[in-house]
């Protein structure tokens, strides 16, 4: 139960529970796949492997990129079957129960691609989308202040400790998590738009976090100091993701969308929505690379702006503060990057409200009216 609370409120899961992307569904499918295959260790039910294959298939259908995790799960099943010393025929039958749903899922995706695009190999993404420098992408997704998973889901910092401990008593399970993590981070580290656009933190890694929470639990169960560290990391995660939930994501990105720092961030080629098949150069968003534009710092800044009785109305597309126009508000005019980039001035996020959850926005409205 403690682990469930830590995952729900101390990681990116909290923020992405309120968005319209597929990340929560992917996370559910992968968590289910992990739960079912690990359940075989205690229950010894062959149906557990079959259920794990079905859950993994659902993850792949939800987003084909999850296919990179299939080898890790298959290797784990094979290792478990070998440890049981069963005959090859029985092992082949059990392995077929795992692979059959995946094959059916692939056939469905091939049919879907043919219906949508007229080609079984076309997925809707550009053909040469994985040209990003590998180490830059991996560093960005894992360790950078701007998008690093360790800053947006602090409890995962205990995962290496947990994996080291699991290697002693649960080596196969630890290997599964390591292979899955390396595969996932490597894939999206090579993706041209690894920052995932208007997203809070490393959106592409959200489905991986349930798997990483298992070694976190192992580490916290091992020693008192790890429990204290886990509590501290959980508290940090609540603060970071609480800001992510409280401050509207569109508001922050709208405030900085007119800022052009392409000389420092460079350009990336993406497919054109207007001319399919053609690539166009677009600037890399500053929130992907420049620490002063980190979404954590940016949302803390907008939270301060909201506390200064400033507001934006998504219905009327108006913004203002109790002292006048938002542009003249001293807090809004002093973003985190003001000292380093004085010419990079934000604009009021017209069309987006500052405070996102309905009840928090209502409370903010009432407080603002009482202060008049």
Per-10-residue mean pLDDT for the chain, 372 residues long?
92 92 95 91 79 95 94 93 83 90 93 86 76 93 95 97 94 96 95 90 96 95 92 97 94 93 88 71 91 95 94 90 91 95 94 90 84 66
The answer to whether 354 touches 311, Cβ cutoff 8 Å, is: yes
Q: Which of 246, 279, 305 is at the close of a domain?
A: 246
Q: In the chain, what is the straight-line distance between the N-terminal and C-terminal CA atoms, in Å?
A: 45
The answer to whether 60 touches 67, Cβ cutoff 8 Å, is: yes
Count up the domains in the chain and report the number: 2
Mark residue 90 as left, alpha or beta (left: phi above 0; alpha: psi -120 to 50; beta: remaining).
Answer: alpha
- Give me the residue label for tokens 């299939």: 70
Say yes or no: 193 and 99 in one domain: yes
Look at residue 273 in the predicted model and tell me its pLDDT.
65
Look at residue 40 in the predicted model and tell me its pLDDT.
78
Look at residue 270 in the predicted model and tell me its pLDDT.
79
Say yes or no: 145 and 289 in one domain: no
Look at residue 180 in the predicted model and tell me its pLDDT.
96
State the residue range of the domain holding 346.
249-370
Look at residue 156 in the predicted model and tell me its pLDDT.
97
215: its two tokens: 């070694």
Say yes or no: 204 and 349 in one domain: no
CA distance 202 to 156: 13
Look at residue 277 in the predicted model and tell me its pLDDT.
67
Look at residue 329 in the predicted model and tell me its pLDDT.
94
Say yes or no: 43 and 190 in one domain: yes
Say yes or no: 186 and 325 in one domain: no
CA distance 355 to 18: 13
Look at residue 77 in the predicted model and tell me its pLDDT.
92
Say yes or no: 173 and 26 in one domain: yes
Say yes or no: 202 and 345 in one domain: no
Look at residue 323 in the predicted model and tell me its pLDDT.
82
Q: Which of 246, 279, 297 is at the close of a domain?
A: 246
Q: Which of 223, 246, 269 is at the close of a domain?
A: 246
Is the pTM higher than 0.95? The answer reads no
Say yes or no: 57 and 137 in one domain: yes
The answer to whether 218 touches 173, Cβ cutoff 8 Å, is: no
69: its two tokens: 């995790």
Using alpha carbons only, give the angle 230, 236, 242 rounded to the nearest 5 degrees.
130
Say yes or no: 119 and 162 in one domain: yes
Say yes or no: 111 and 238 in one domain: yes
């Amino acid at each position: 139960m403690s682990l469930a609370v830590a995952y729900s409120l101390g990681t990116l899961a909290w923020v992405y529970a309120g968005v319209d992307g597929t990340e929560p569904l992917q996370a559910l499918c992968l968590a289910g796949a992990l739960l079912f295959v690990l359940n075989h260790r205690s229950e010894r039910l062959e149906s557990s492997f079959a259920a794990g294959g079905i859950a993994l298939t659902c993850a792949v259908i939800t987003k084909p990129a999850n296919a990179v995790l299939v080898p890790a799960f298959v290797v784990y099943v094979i290792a478990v079957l070998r440890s049981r010393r069963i005959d090859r025929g029985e092992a082949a039958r059990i392995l077929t129960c795992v692979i059959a749903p995946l094959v059916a899922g692939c056939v469905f995706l091939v049919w879907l691609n043919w219906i949508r695009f007229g080609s079984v190999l076309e997925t809707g993404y550009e053909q040469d989308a994985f040209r990003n420098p590998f180490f830059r992408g991996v560093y960005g997704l894992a360790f950078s202040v701007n998008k690093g998973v360790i800053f947006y889901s602090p409890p995962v910092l205990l995962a290496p400790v947990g994996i080291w401990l699991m290697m002693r008593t649960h080596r196969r399970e630890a290997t599964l998590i390591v292979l899955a993590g390396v595969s996932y981070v490597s894939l999206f580290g090579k993706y041209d738009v690894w920052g995932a656009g208007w997203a809070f933190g490393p959106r592409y890694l959200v489905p991986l976090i349930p798997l990483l929470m298992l070694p976190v639990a192992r580490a916290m169960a091992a020693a008192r100091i790890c429990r204290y560290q886990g509590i501290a990391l959980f508290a940090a995660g609540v603060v970071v993701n609480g800001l992510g939930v409280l401050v509207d994501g569109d508001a922050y990105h709208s405030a900085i969308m007119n800022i052009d720092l392409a000389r420092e961030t460079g350009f990336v080629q993406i497919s054109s929505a207007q001319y399919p098949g053609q690539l166009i150069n677009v600037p890399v968003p500053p929130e992907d690379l420049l620490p002063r534009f980190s979404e954590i710092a940016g949302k803390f800044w907008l939270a301060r702006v909201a506390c200064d009785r400033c507001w934006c109305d998504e219905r009327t597309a108006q913004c203002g503060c109790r002292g006048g126009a938002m542009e003249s508000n001293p807090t809004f005019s002093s973003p985190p990057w003001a000292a380093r980039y004085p010419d990079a001035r934000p604009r009021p996020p017209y069309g987006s409200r500052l405070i996102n959850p309905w009840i928090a926005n209502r409370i903010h409205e009432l407080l603002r009216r009482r202060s008049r």
